[in-house]
Structure 1
Amino acid sequence: MLFTYSTKKFSLNMRVKFSRYVYLLLLIPVSQNIFAVTAEPQPGQKSTPDLSLCPAKYETTKTRIEPRAFSIENRGNTEISADFTESSTDGSTILDGNIIIERHLIRVTADHANYSKTNDEITFSGNVFIDTENISLNADGGTISINNTDPGKKTQGRFNNIIFFIPDSNMNGKAETIHSGKQSDNTNHSTLTNASITSCDLLDPDWLISADEIELDHDDEYGSADDVVIRFKGVPFMYTPYMEFPTSDKRRSGLLFPTIGTSSSRGLELAVPWYWNIAPNQDALLTPRYMEKRGFELGGDYRYLTRSTNGELKGAYLPEDDITNEERYQYRYQQHSQIMSNLSIDIDLQDISDSDYFNDFSNNLGTTSQTHLDRNATLRYDLNNWHMKAMVQDIKTIDETASLATRPYERLPQVTIIGDEAIASSPLLFSLDSEYVDFTHEDDSKTTGSRLTIKPGLRLPLSGAAWFIDPAIKFSHTQYDVGTQSGTTQTVENRNIPISSVDAGLFFERPLSNGYQQTLEPRLYYLNVPFVDQDNIPLFDTSIPSFSVAQLFRDNRFVGGDRIGDTNQLTFALTSRLLNPDTGDEFVRASIGQIVYFEDRKVSLTGTTIDTATQSDVIAELDINWGRWQSNIDLQWDPARSHLSQENYFLHFKSDARHLFNIGYRKRLVVNSDVIDIEQTDTSFVYAFNRNYSGLVRWNYSLKDDKDIDTIAGISYDSCCWSIQLLAQRLLRNSTTSNAYDNAILVQFVFKGLGSLSGSKAQHTLEQSIYGYSDTFQ
């Protein structure tokens, strides 16, 4: 029997949405503090639970039927069906057998129901199931008030002996009762008594959170509880007298889970972060941190977002280091402002207290190996093909013992204008590459001053289906106004150099029997730059980069504007690719190239060296991306010495997040010699031994120095609803001291759906150290 009850009185108000993570603070039972817990947003990290780790019976407690979404005009209707109905003279109605009551995004089923017109309530019993947009309930019985006219009545729904499931967080639980509805102050609350919750199988949970009463505030989207006990394997091991937790992605202020670790340079560490939800567009993370060997440090991370601007200020301050007896600090401020669609400003400011800060306080090889800090502010303006940039830049040398003369120059300011434009709608393009920069230096004896470079040019790029040719001519004009800050003047003549080039190539392709397509792409690049004496020009920002494929097609062998290399050369290059002709996916790319010189090169950094070689090193690259496999090989052959001057090999395999393997080898010789500069191996893997256990290793080793650079070993246990990971790391901090290594222990313990003990510190270390690693502990 089916009928529609078209009044808007019937309302089941039980919208509950738990966030993906509910963070808890580990407290000793005697604590008297009040603790709030927050789910800090992690953009892009929302994940689906891996049910393959769960037992078969797991799904029996996590089932639901999605409630229907009614059309707008029918959202006040109630549809009711039952096998049997009986109405009495007092207006009550008995429903029996396969009862289904549906409203917009609400579905109730039961064996028996009784509608009382006097009380305006429906009473349910027998296999009661309620499905709403964000929660599903299974109850022995209960009552729903259709129209709550009595202000003293605070409950619209009351159900007994419930089992509930929240799909958004994959959490389920049970409670003796749930009371839900509008309160006397018109707020929307639910109260669960004698309640427990977990993301495990509720029939046999490994961990369980219990409280005498849990209050859910649906308006502000959070829950709260007193005297909360967390049980693991049936044993109580965490307690907090009060806890707040979010029931949606809405942020809330409060303490996050503490981080615990140990290292040889800092001793035992304990950090207790406090998340502060300042406003919808602002938040901050304040982290008091105790280090056994160093003392108390305060860290902070403040973020803000407006319609046109986003920024972040983060840092740490240690008033007095117990080892050095000095003040230690680090900060970085970054901001991006999009003033208009084509006008933006970027700011990046950073500093540290001393040259040993990163070695003493970081477990990241990339950070500890930093030698300079770039501080800059940049204004960018784009107009079609034209791009303008104005920047002020200061680069701090981290090593305080480095002499002033060896430190980089400041750019105060640097202005560049780059672009090209078609001439009268023809294929001929006018190009301009211009720069003005004013160099200053902290050493008064160094040459300082300004450099202006204007490089107009003409290009005629032409192409067909199987060919291209791009002849170009440029004229580089540079003038200097230099001296020293101590008053010494220096005369530098203007530099005028024409640069001509022709870039040309062919495209051949053929289908293969396996359905793929192979290409053959020969390319020639001719470059002519006449010699101009530049020995009296100071060196502000110019150097010689490492030789690479990109160098084969550049019009200047130097990086920076103080030298323009003279040359008369021709580059020969050949590339072959293996493609999927339908998708364009590239599986294999192989390239080889070399420069042939027709004249000696006289321009150098020092002005004393003439390069008489008739050919460059040979550069070869091979990149393979084939399903789960990825391989890269880069080789540089020195024909004058008949040996490889640089070689890099890398092999990567990844079938899934729990099975990956990397192995790499790189070797580099000192330029124009047989002396080894770098020779290292880098091996890492993540391997799941079975459904639950996995291990990982990263070993970065220097063959040249016969010592470890970075070694990480770890083992993980990952179940349906909790996981633990233990990591040990040995990181080379300073190869010149007796205490060269920092040994650290990192632990991550996760109750899935609640949070982790170590936050993201362990995962950040692994993501930086193991190529292809992704966080599976979410």
Structure 2
Amino acid sequence: MRRALLILPWAAAAAAGAAEPVPVPVPVYGCAIPAPQPLAPRTDVGADVLDVLSGDVEVDLNGLTIFKDRLVLRRRDIQLGADSARYDRSTGEFELSGNIELRDPDTWLAGDSASYNTESGLFRIEAAKFELYTLPARGSADSITLEETRVLTLKDASYTTCARGEDDWLLRAGSLSIDRETGVGTARNARLEFQGVPILYSPWLTYPVDGRRRSGLLLPDFGSGGQRGVEVAVPYYFNLAPDYDATFTPHYMSKRGLQAQGEFRYLSESTKGTLNGQFLPDDDVTGEDRALVYWYNQSRLSDRWRATIDATQVSDSAYFENLSTGLGSASQTHLRQRVDFEYFDNIWSALLRLEDYQTLDDSLTAEERPYQRLPQVAVNGYWPNNPLGLEYRLQTELTYFNRDTGTTGLRANLRPQIALPLRFGALSLDSAAAFDYTAYSLDQTAPGVAQSPSRSLPVYSVSLSTLLERAWGKDSSMLQTIEPRLQFVHVPYENQSDMPVFDTIQPEFDIVQLFRTNRYAGLDRLGDTNKLDIGITTRLMRSADGSQILTATVGETRYFTAQDVTLPGEMPSDDSTSDYIAELGMNINNRWNLDLGYQWDSDANVTRMAEARVMYKPADNRIINLSYRFRRDSLREIDITGTWPIAARWSFVGRYDYSLLDNQVLESFFGLEYSTCCWGLRLVTQRNLTSRDGNSDTTITLQLLLKGFGGPGSSPERLIDRGTLGYDRY
């Protein structure tokens, strides 16, 4: 379509451009390039009118127009200027020379000569420089072509997101296309330089030029470790669709060979999941193929049905020891494979589970390895608000436990319960009575062991609690609560020694365990008891917003009869009291947090457990954690973690986890990061146990981040997030 030309003298041009300028867009990245304010778009003429502003114009009869005194072309919010120009009306072509400058709200181009076709909208400039303010990015090229589709095509180009005069990194390419509509840059015959040193060659590569996800090569990771030698990983990201993507990473290890790693992620309204795979053919050390597969999937089948898959499998038990990965650690003894189908409504909930384990610890005997659940079926019901205020519950479970060695079989559990919750102002009285029935149908039992044992026991409980509160402080700005609780539980004794132990343990005694009606976790044992649980909690809160400043709880249990039901290897207990337990949490001023836990054995007059953690967090990127953990005869550990900026562009991250009992470092990592507005460098050294017999390995990883070009393939923030409480970078 032919555009109208409106030729104005400079006086009129000044008046036309006197409107309020449009604001410069905010850059996506950090190195903001100072941008001149572009002129406001003309509103007094049509969108297709091209303003031609010049002080000296000559027009001949052949349709040729010559502009000798500084020419400015304007259409909408685009402005093009030159010292002189020739315009051919028959072709709609401008030929411009001398101090060429084109700018729009997010682009600046400059060069020695240029051409512009008013029919096609195609602009070409020679010996050019460019700046893209919204990325921001800049560079130069032998020639640049700008299309109306907002595509820049550069020949023999250089490209960077660094500030003017700081070419810390450069992408040089024989040809470079920047599509700002799709957010993709495409380079051919490309060379990536950092501090003047080439670090990557590629005949073709793509990269994102804004914050949108785009397919392309991510920056490589470099590392070195005792188990794997020198490592190089070069990931490629595939943005396949808005709801799924993939990453493929060739991972070279000088001591092991070339490993292929892949990750596929998907997300929809009803399903989300991740599939990871790793394959190392013919390991140079073992001579065997090594592989890992991990799949996590959660699907909402309907408003009431949900399905979950969570499974990890490796080729051999030493996989994590030799090829440690973020998907697992060398300390793992088992890998779980689980499939769940779940149902929920206002009354009923149901679970169908298939579960298996891969055992990685070869020192475990066959009898010590976990059982398969093939399947586990649980159906539970809850009916509140019945006449007289009664509440009814029903818990049922049917599970088949399978294993290559030892007793296997079917376990059924039925537990109906009736409860009466009563409220008298601040006083709560909750009574409950349940009947617990468990039966087995066993295979592969030892001689003389019953194949169909069962257990039938009532469970009675009465809980009394209250909530007292008062204003606290001179101006009543805080609220203090006192929350005492008493619970009486009675379960009669029944000999359960003929029952197998498929999945039952006795968990550590803590505040949660204090008020449980069964001291065991699992259905193979129901502990006999005649006890009174005693606990008291106090809280100190800000009245304005309810935020807690302090929470403290102490408790113990008094036993009126001996506890004779045991697990294999346990002894009956005739203690009259439990250990004393206490917990304290303090949020002092939104910067300091303190958590304490303590367990005291009054009979032996010794500490059984102690935990302490102090966190100082004045800002999201300034965190220090110090913790101490103690378990008598089994654990004495200190753990220090933190991240902190140490200079204008430098920051530190680290963790030091040390066992005082074993005189051994369990895990440590220390990292330094140097960051500018256009690039960053990370150096992380990590030492951790690589086997259950105490062997350790040290790895060093170097990552280069070129901002605005692509991210690294892996992130040390995963280490930081795992080791540093309170850290949340993303």
Q: Is the CA contact 1:65–1:131 (under 8 Å) kept in the aligned structure 2?
A: yes
SS in 1 for 2:505: coil
Q: Deviations over 1:497-535 (max 9, x none)?
A: 221222232222223236222222222222222222222
Partner of 1:345: 307
Cα drift, residue 327 of structure 1? 3.0
Supply the distance in 1 between the matched residues of 2:33 and 2:246 (Cα, whole angstroms).
Answer: 41
Matched, 1:449 2:449: no
Q: Is the CA contact 1:2–1:80 (under 8 Å) kept in the aligned structure 2?
A: no
- Within the candidate set 506, 510, 513, 2:474 is matched to 513
Partner of 1:655: 618
Partner of 1:708: 665
- Within the candidate set 89, 110, 130, 2:103 is matched to 130
One-letter amino acid matched to 1:328:
R
- Within the candidate set 399, 406, 418, 1:458 is matched to 418
Q: Is the CA contact 2:210–2:708 (under 8 Å) kept in the aligned structure 1?
A: no
Cα drift, residue 325 of structure 1? 2.8
Partner of 2:6: none
| Structure 1 residues 364 and 80, CA gap change in structure 2 (3 angstroms) | closer
Partner of 2:442: 482
One-letter amino acid matched to 2:514:
L
Supply the distance in 1 between the matched residues of 2:502 and 2:198 (Cα, whole angstroms).
Answer: 66
Partner of 1:381: 343
One-letter amino acid matched to 2:653:
L
SS in 1 for 2:284: coil
Q: Is the CA contact 1:165–1:173 (under 8 Å) kept in the aligned structure 2?
A: no
TM-score of the aligned structures, taking structure 1 as reference length: 0.80
Supply the distance in 2 between the matched residues of 1:67 and 1:305 (Cα, whole angstroms).
Answer: 42
Cα drift, residue 198 of structure 1? 2.1
Partner of 1:356: 318
Cα drift, residue 457 of structure 1? 1.4
Aligned 1:215-364 pairs, distance under 5 A: 215-217=177-179, 221-234=183-196, 238-247=200-209, 253-278=215-240, 281-305=243-267, 308-362=270-324
Cα drift, residue 156 of structure 1? 5.8
- Within the candidate set 464, 485, 489, 1:504 is matched to 464
SS in 2 for 1:680: strand
Cα drift, residue 390 of structure 1? 0.7
Supply the distance in 2 between the matched residues of 1:79 and 1:386 (Cα, whole angstroms).
Answer: 70
* Structure 1, unaligned runs of 5 or more: 6-16, 21-47, 52-57, 670-675
One-letter amino acid matched to 2:474:
S
Cα drift, residue 661 of structure 1? 1.4
- Within the candidate set 454, 473, 492, 2:433 is matched to 473
| Structure 1 residues 61 and 492, CA gap change in structure 2 (3 angstroms) | same
Q: Is the CA contact 2:330–2:691 (under 8 Å) kept in the aligned structure 1?
A: no
Aligned 1:183-194 pairs, distance under 5 A: 189-193=151-155
Q: Is the CA contact 1:128–1:141 (under 8 Å) kept in the aligned structure 2?
A: no
* Structure 2, unaligned runs of 5 or more: 1-11, 17-24
Q: Is the CA contact 2:320–2:328 (under 8 Å) kept in the aligned structure 1?
A: no
* Comparing 676-685 and 603-612, the one that deviates more: 603-612
Partner of 2:132: 165
- Within the candidate set 151, 155, 159, 1:197 is matched to 159
Supply the distance in 2 between the matched residues of 1:130 and 1:539 (Cα, whole angstroms).
Answer: 77
SS in 2 for 1:340: coil
Cα drift, residue 279 of structure 1? 5.2
Cα drift, residue 682 of structure 1? 0.9
Supply the distance in 2 between the matched residues of 1:376 and 1:478 (Cα, whole angstroms).
Answer: 24
Q: Is the CA contact 1:573–1:593 (under 8 Å) kept in the aligned structure 2?
A: yes
* Comparing 683-692 and 390-399, the one that deviates more: 683-692
- Within the candidate set 719, 722, 730, 1:765 is matched to 719
Q: Is the CA contact 1:572–1:595 (under 8 Å) kept in the aligned structure 2?
A: yes
Cα drift, residue 731 of structure 1? 1.7
- What is the root-mean-square deviation in Å for CA atoms of aligned residues? 4.1
| Structure 1 residues 216 and 83, CA gap change in structure 2 (3 angstroms) | closer
Supply the distance in 2 between the matched residues of 1:69 and 1:265 (Cα, whole angstroms).
Answer: 67
One-letter amino acid matched to 2:407:
T
| Structure 1 residues 156 and 340, CA gap change in structure 2 (3 angstroms) | farther
One-letter amino acid matched to 1:293:
K
Supply the distance in 2 between the matched residues of 1:496 and 1:64 (Cα, whole angstroms).
Answer: 84
* Comparing 244-253 and 759-768, the one that deviates more: 244-253
TM-score of the aligned structures, taking structure 2 as reference length: 0.84
Q: Is the CA contact 1:121–1:143 (under 8 Å) kept in the aligned structure 2?
A: no
SS in 2 for 1:570: strand
Supply the distance in 1 between the matched residues of 2:46 and 2:606 (Cα, whole angstroms).
Answer: 82
- Within the candidate set 603, 608, 631, 1:640 is matched to 603
SS in 2 for 1:461: strand
Matched, 1:526 2:488: yes
SS in 2 for 1:367: coil
* Comparing 380-389 and 267-276, the one that deviates more: 267-276
Supply the distance in 2 between the matched residues of 1:466 and 1:97 (Cα, whole angstroms).
Answer: 86
One-letter amino acid matched to 1:628:
R
Q: Is the CA contact 1:304–1:310 (under 8 Å) kept in the aligned structure 2?
A: yes
Q: Is the CA contact 2:209–2:709 (under 8 Å) kept in the aligned structure 1?
A: no
State percent identity of aligned pairs: 30
Partner of 2:504: 542
Supply the distance in 1 between the matched residues of 2:74 and 2:422 (Cα, whole angstroms).
Answer: 71
One-letter amino acid matched to 1:171:
A
Q: Is the CA contact 1:3–1:79 (under 8 Å) kept in the aligned structure 2?
A: no
Q: Is the CA contact 1:483–1:489 (under 8 Å) kept in the aligned structure 2?
A: no
Q: What number of residue pairs does the alignment pair up?
A: 703
SS in 2 for 1:490: coil
Partner of 1:437: 399
Aligned 1:39-118 pairs, distance under 5 A: 59-61=32-34, 77=47, 103=76, 106=77, 108=79, 118=89
Supply the distance in 2 between the matched residues of 1:496 and 1:487 (Cα, whole angstroms).
Answer: 24
Cα drift, residue 403 of structure 1? 1.3
| Structure 1 residues 426 and 749, CA gap change in structure 2 (3 angstroms) | farther
